[in-house]
Each structure stands twice: as structure tokens, then as C-alpha cells.
């Protein structure tokens, strides 16, 4: 049995299933179990908040019966509360809603927790961290978008590393012990500085686990090596302070 990424590195990997073969999702989920993925990142878009619609609730519901891996759902939708009620029926472990679409963010985070899932706030690259200030009591994780939401295969936004470090510091200054997840161009090259800046969950797409330059086992090895570099950077940074 393969160790999970978390057991091996202390950092969690959440492969993004929208980057897998959509005609073979059950097989793709088996592959993720085999490489020790810690959870599965599921992007739900309504083609309004983000201009795409890669996966539907029907697929999630059918996949729920095929795996015990935690479902890490990233909602990129306008009507968060309706999707949360649907996800509650499917049974998922964590749900992130975008601060930009949640009109009543505090209430929506409470709704997620009421369903028994962990509640996260996702922030677009341009959204300031301050929006987290008054919801820290209802927050289980932060999801920082390091590309603009909607599509795989994009380039990192320039402010990404700085924002991850700023988020780590923002949370630490408020004694908020919640992981920072990063999503978008989490590549072999970008993983070390992302982990060094404080990322604890890596959403892995075409830049790493689904990289076309290797098979999934080779990509796993390269991802673990990149995380180890990042952990060393983080330790150096902690030593400096
Ligand atoms: C969006 C998705 C994808 C994923 C793709 O929320 O979760 O963007 O990050 O990974 P890359 O950017 O590596 O193709
Ligand atoms: Zn995502």
C-alpha cells in the first residue's frame, strides 16, 4: 500500500479531477487511490461565476460510491447555498465557496458546517485577505487561487507567492490554525516556493500529477521531490524568524 502524500511529506495533495480523462472517471479515481492522494479536488462550475462547466453533480454522486477518499469540493458558482444542499446529500468532506460570489459569507460557511463538511473560503487572485477577518471563527481552510478560476493549464499570477506568505502571516497573527490550499499552476517548479511560503494543501492538475510529460507514477515522484524542497525552504524561513 502506497503511503499518502501527507504521511510521506507532511503536505497534502488534492489532485484536480477535471484534469483527468472525463470519460474514465472511475478508473482515474482508482489511480489516485493507488498513488496515495490525500483527497480529490472536484471543481464545480456553473458557467456563470467561472466561464466553464467541467464536471457535474451526477458524476460526483456516482463517484461517491466508488471511493472513500475525501471529496474536496471547490464551488465556482453564483448560487452557493443551493449547491451546498446538493453536496450534503452526496456526502463530501470539505467545501470551499468563493468570497466574491457569497453575498452572505458568514451564513454560507455556517451552512457548510451544518452539513458536517469542513468550510473553506476561496479567494480569486485580486481579492484581498481582509475579507477573512470576521469569518475566522467559521473557517476550516483557505483556498487561494493562484490563477484566475475556470481553466487548467494557465500560468501563475505574479502575486501568487507573496499572497501565500501574506495569508500564512495573516492567519498566524490571529492564531488561526487552518491550512492554506493553493490552486492553479501548482507545478514541479512552483511547488517548492509555494510550500516554502506556507501552502499546506496542493491542488494538483496538469502542472504536476496530470502532467503530460510523464505517467502518474513518475509525476508522483517528481511531486514528492518538489514538496521535500519546499519543506526545506519552509524550515529555513522558520529558522530566520
Ligand atoms: C481550477 C482547477 C484547475 C487546476 C488545474 O479550480 O482546480 O485549475 O488547478 O491545474 P493546472 O493549473 O496545473 O492545470
Ligand atoms: Zn479548484
pLDDT, tens digit, for every residue of 102-133?
Answer: 999 999 999 999 999 999 999 999 999 999 99
- The partner residues of 204 in beta bridges, in order of sequence, read 15
DSSP state of 213: T
CA 132 → CA 49, 119, 147, 197, distances in Å? 20, 12, 19, 19
The residue whose CA is least distant from atom 8 of ligand 1 is 152
Per residue in 137-173, pLDDT tens? 999 999 999 999 999 999 999 999 999 999 999 999 9
Report the nearest atom of ligand 1 relative to the CA of 205: 10
Q: What is the pLDDT of residue 239?
A: 78
User: Which one of the ligands is nearest to 148 CA?
Assistant: 1
Torsion of CA 45, 24, 155, 130, to 10 degrees: 40
Active site residues per annotation: 43, 183
**CA angle 207-212-216, nearest 5°?**
85
Is residue 22 over pLDDT 90? Answer: yes
* For residue 24, pLDDT beyond 80: yes
Q: How many angstroms separate the alpha carbon of residue 72 from the centre of ligand 1?
A: 13
| Residue 146, ligand 1, Cβ within 6 A | no
Q: What is the pLDDT of residue 1?
A: 74
Residue 94, ligand 1, Cβ within 6 A: no
Q: Return the closest-CA partner of residue 93 out of 14, 195, 34, 183.
A: 14
Q: pLDDT at position 103, please?
A: 97
pLDDT (average), residues 229-233: 98
In angstroms, what is the span from residue 3 Cα to ligand 1's centroid?
24
In angstroms, the CA 191 to CA 194 distance is 5
* pLDDT for residue 241 is more than 90: no
Radius of gyration of the chain (CA): 17
Ligand nearest to the CA of 204: 1
- The DSSP-derived string for 62-99 is HHHTT--SPEEEEEE-S-HHHHHHHHHHH--SEEEEET
CA of 241 to the centre of ligand 2 (A): 32
pLDDT of residue 74 exceeding 80, the answer is yes
Domain 5-240 superfamily per CATH: Aldolase class I (3.20.20.70)
Q: Is the beta carbon of 102 within 6 A of some atom in ligand 1?
A: no
- 183 within ligand 1 shell (Cβ under 6 A): yes
Question: Could you tell me the residue ranges of all domains in the chain?
Answer: 5-240
Q: What is the DSSP string of 101-159?
A: T-TTHHHHHHHHHHTTSEEEEEE-TTS-GGGGGGGGGG-SEEEEESS-TT-SSPPPPTT
pLDDT at position 98 over 70: yes
pLDDT of residue 240: 72
Ligand closest to the CA atom of residue 209: 1
| Average pLDDT in the chain | 97
Task: Identify which of 145, 152, 156 to mutate to test ligand 1's pocket (most ligand atoms within 8 A of the CB).
Answer: 152
Q: What is the pLDDT of residues 207-229, one digit of tens each?
A: 999 999 999 999 999 999 999 99
CB atoms within 10 A of CB 234: 21
Please tell me the distance between residue 239's alpha carbon and the centre of ligand 1 in angstroms: 32
Amino acid at each position: 500500500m502506497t503511503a499518502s502524500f501527507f504521511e510521506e511529506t507532511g503536505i497534502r495533495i488534492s489532485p484536480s479531477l477535471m484534469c483527468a480523462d472525463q470519460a474514465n472517471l472511475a478508473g482515474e479515481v482508482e489511480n489516485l487511490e493507488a498513488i496515495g492522494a490525500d483527497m480529490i479536488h472536484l471543481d464545480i462550475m456553473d458557467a456563470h461565476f467561472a466561464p466553464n462547466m467541467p464536471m457535474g453533480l451526477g458524476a460526483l454522486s456516482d463517484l461517491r460510491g466508488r471511493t472513500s477518499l475525501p471529496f474536496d469540493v471547490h464551488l465556482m458558482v453564483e448560487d452557493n447555498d443551493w449547491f451546498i444542499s446538493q453536496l450534503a446529500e452526496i456526502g463530501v468532506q470539505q467545501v470551499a465557496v468563493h468570497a466574491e460570489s457569497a453575498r452572505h459569507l458568514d451564513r454560507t460557511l455556517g451552512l457548510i458546517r451544518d452539513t458536517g463538511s469542513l468550510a473553506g473560503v476561496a479567494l480569486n487572485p485580486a481579492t484581498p485577505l481582509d475579507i477573512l477577518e470576521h469569518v475566522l471563527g467559521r473557517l476550516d481552510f483557505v483556498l487561494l487561487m493562484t490563477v484566475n478560476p475556470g481553466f487548467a493549464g494557465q500560468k501563475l499570477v505574479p502575486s501568487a507567492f507573496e499572497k501565500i506568505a501574506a495569508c500564512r502571516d495573516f492567519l498566524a497573527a490571529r492564531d488561526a490554525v487552518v491550512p492554506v490550499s493553493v490552486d492553479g499552476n501548482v507545478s514541479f517548479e512552483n511547488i517548492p516556493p509555494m510550500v516554502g511560503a506556507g501552502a499546506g494543501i496542493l491542488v494538483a492538475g496538469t502542472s504536476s500529477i496530470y502532467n503530460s510529460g510523464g505517467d502518474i507514477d513518475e509525476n508522483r515522484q517528481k511531486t514528492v521531490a518538489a514538496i521535500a524542497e519546499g519543506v526545506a525552504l519552509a524550515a529555513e524561513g522558520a529558522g530566520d524568524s
